[in-house]
Structure 1
Amino acid sequence: MPDPTASPWWSAHVHADRRPRLLARNAITRAVRGWLEGQAFVEVETAALQVSPGNEAHLHAFATEAVGHGGERSPLFLHTSPEFACKKLLAAGERRIFSLGKVWRNRERGPLHHPEFTMLEWYRAGEPYERLMEDCAALLSLAAETAGSRAFTFRGRSVDPFAEPERITLAEAFDRFAGIDLLATVAEDGAVDRDRLAAQAGEVGIRVAGDDTWADVFSRVLVEKVEPNLGQGRATVLCEYPTPEAALARVKPGSPRVAERFELYACGVELANAFAELTDPVEQRRRLQAEMDEKQRVYGERYPLDDDFLAALGRMPPACGAALGFDRLVMLALGAERIDQVLWTPVAG
């Protein structure tokens, strides 16, 4: 519970203490924009109100509605990511684009989470997703250089932001940090062996409930055994996710059990999520419907699909895209302990 006697962020003396970090945030923002523009990216502004906020099972949106002149009402959502809109722009002919703006996610608040936050999302058409790994490394060093920081630190962990990130696959990480053969539980058609993964997890001390799905067990192993070991000394690129954990990503050519997806970690903190984009609208619809079926099972709700997005997907060129939590990057670059320490006006409550 917040201390009701504590001074609010807008108190002059509190703001004076916060202001150096906020000005440094502005400098990092300018540097990132300048770097992307120097790479021939075009900045785009996507609408925050969408007919679908995104269709990941465990992401929760803020809902609202549009009211017409006659009182007719249509449901709308604040987007959890500009992804669908950006992909429509790729279908329209854009080749390198980025969005640096606000997104909203409900049920999220803590040292690393805020209901309204800033996301940097960028796309490269016709380029391999390994280019995004290079982009991530460049952004880490750029943020550190701009902040005058030689190291990122968080909760006793430290990372050299100028060192080349290590690359490790999910299969390697599960074997190294948990002693689990992950891909032995995934078939080439994407089917999963829940009982085999649960048995392996139980052997290494992971609690498994009788109604846990394969995805539940996967997530628990990732959080408890793998993530705490990532991004120490240097950043980590965790890549080649099993296909059931990459609903928006393309299957890796020649390796049907894994997809071209990676996440970037520093100091144990997840900073970015990236894909070689799936461009098959039929397959994408099937995957998004499966995500919403899971959301219905777990939370008793579902979000509509964006049919306009699926139509555009069929005309979208091969591309790769990444989403980076900008506030978290600023946090690490400035040595902050909580995300609200680098936000100009934190959301109340």
Structure 2
Amino acid sequence: MSAASPAWSRHVYADRRPFLKIRNRVQAHLRDWFNGQDFMEVETPILQVSPGNEAHLSAFSTLLIQPDGQRTLLYLHTSPEFACKKLLAAGEPRLFTFARCFRNRERTGRHHPEFTMLEWYRARETYETLMADCAALLRQAAEAAETTRFSYGSASCDPFLPPERLTLAEAFTRYAGIDLLANLPEAAGGLHAAAHDQGIRLAADDSWSDVFSRIVTEKVEPNLGHGRPTILCEYPAEEAALARRKSADPRVAERFELYVCGLELANGFGELTDAAEQRRRFEEEERVRQRVYGETYPIDDDFLAALAQMPDASGIALGFDRLAMLAAGARRIEDVLFLPVAG
């Protein structure tokens, strides 16, 4: 949209209004589904002492000023995850939230600096249950939108078909011609060489994680969720900072992502509950952040204390705006936002 035509101008808003009506219907259907599954809807605080500790998520910061003038640096959360897990520790067995989230350095046709995340958690249930939830929610969204196909660009997907389940190792072999499990970080230089052989451009100082992400972005993701949804699972443990390792194969973690039309919609975990291990992983993530961005974020000690009391659980975050965009057949994420962030 041009500077002369702001998002609130009548003709620009009128173009988006049909998408916004679908967004509202989808949200209402999903809320009804969770209520029917005996979930508690919760509201979590946006202001946090830590915005999260995943190295490549950038946050917005602000100052809390007390009546006596004392100032405390706080952050707008990048996800409600820490707060939701504290509520699991408090005894909530099933919970969900539609949370406003904030991520800096992210603005494209598929990203927005302020967005809505749908997160839900199940205490004492496995992450396979979340995979079934994802399939059910796709159907709910399609019914709300009165459509039988989701589309994005030239891609389309039937949301009523059961998702294909594909491990990262299978996806790397199929779409990149690379044996992932033979090229984990302990195999020094292996993944770099394999990626180079497949024509992927790399920088000399790329880490193993950088190379992994580039292969996923260039070779794997564009092929997922076409015709039917895809569940991409069993991530290398090094790429799952908040997930527990699989007992049957500790090289990989209980992490999966849901893809539709080549878009990542959701990221789910069998949750890690070892507070000492979680602290170690956070510290490693912050070392990476310091190296890449020249800054670090605090670690939420209160979250780690709650994690030690949290039952075994599974949890997932779904980008609600992206789901609404797909269900409505919109071209970009701003089409399903009532008013995009200025600038």
TM-score by length of 1: 0.97
Whole-angstrom distance in 2 between the partners of 1:304 and 1:91:
21
Q: How many residues align?
A: 343
Whole-angstrom distance in 2 between the partners of 1:160 and 1:204:
31
Note the alpha carbon deviations across 1:221-261, whole angstroms, 9 max, x for none.
Answer: 00000001101100100000000000000100120100000
- Report the 3-state secondary structure (helix = DSSP H, G, I; strand = E; otherwise coil) of the residue aligned with 1:208: coil
Q: Taking every aligned residue pair, what percent have the same amino acid on both sides?
A: 64
User: Does the CA-based 8 Å contact 1:137-1:165 persist in structure 2?
Assistant: yes
Whole-angstrom distance in 2 between the partners of 1:329 and 1:115:
17
The one-letter code sitting in structure 2 at the alignment partner of 1:267 is C
In structure 2, list runs of 5 or more residues that go unmatched.
none
TM-score by length of 2: 0.98
Structure 1 residues 194, 153: closer, same or farther in 2, change over 3 A? farther
Match of 2:147 in 1: 149
For residues 88-127 of structure 1, the aligned pairs below 5 Å read 88-127=86-125
Match of 2:24 in 1: 26
Match of 2:177 in 1: 179
Whole-angstrom distance in 2 between the partners of 1:41 and 1:97:
5
- Report the 3-state secondary structure (helix = DSSP H, G, I; strand = E; otherwise coil) of the residue aligned with 1:119: strand
User: How far off is 1:11 after superposition?
Assistant: 1.1
4+ runs deviating over 3 angstroms = none
The one-letter code sitting in structure 2 at the alignment partner of 1:105 is R
- Report the 3-state secondary structure (helix = DSSP H, G, I; strand = E; otherwise coil) of the residue aligned with 2:322: helix
User: Does the CA-based 8 Å contact 1:193-1:214 persist in structure 2?
Assistant: no
Decide which of 285, 288, 298 is 1:291's aligned counterpart. Answer: 285
Match of 1:333 in 2: 327
Match of 1:75 in 2: 73
Match of 2:191 in 1: 197
Note the alpha carbon deviations across 1:93-149, whole angstroms, 9 max, x for none.
Answer: 010000112000011101000010000000000011000000001111110111011
Decide which of 221, 225, 234 is 2:215's aligned counterpart. Answer: 221
RMSD of aligned Cα (Å) = 0.9
User: How far off is 1:151 after superposition?
Assistant: 0.4
Whole-angstrom distance in 1 between the partners of 2:226 and 2:151:
10
Note the alpha carbon deviations across 1:24-67, whole angstroms, 9 max, x for none.
Answer: 11111111000001001000000000000000000000000111
User: How far off is 1:15 after superposition?
Assistant: 1.8
User: How far off is 1:194 after superposition?
Assistant: 4.2
Q: Does 1:277 align with 2:271?
A: yes
Decide which of 260, 267, 271 is 2:261's aligned counterpart. Answer: 267
- Report the 3-state secondary structure (helix = DSSP H, G, I; strand = E; otherwise coil) of the residue aligned with 1:258: coil
Match of 1:167 in 2: 165
Whole-angstrom distance in 1 between the partners of 2:188 and 2:139:
40
The one-letter code sitting in structure 1 at the alignment partner of 2:72 is S
- Report the 3-state secondary structure (helix = DSSP H, G, I; strand = E; otherwise coil) of the residue aligned with 1:28: helix
Whole-angstrom distance in 2 between the partners of 1:96 and 1:61:
28
Structure 1 residues 65, 194: closer, same or farther in 2, change over 3 A? farther
Whole-angstrom distance in 1 between the partners of 2:132 and 2:12:
38
User: How far off is 1:208 after superposition?
Assistant: 1.9
Whole-angstrom distance in 2 between the partners of 1:229 and 1:25:
26
User: Does the CA-based 8 Å contact 1:120-1:326 persist in structure 2?
Assistant: yes
User: How far off is 1:19 after superposition?
Assistant: 1.4
Whole-angstrom distance in 1 between the partners of 2:266 and 2:66:
38
For residues 241-256 of structure 1, the aligned pairs below 5 Å read 241-256=235-250
Whole-angstrom distance in 2 between the partners of 1:207 and 1:331:
31
Q: Does 1:343 align with 2:337?
A: yes
Whole-angstrom distance in 1 between the partners of 2:148 and 2:299:
44
User: Does the CA-based 8 Å contact 1:42-1:97 persist in structure 2?
Assistant: yes
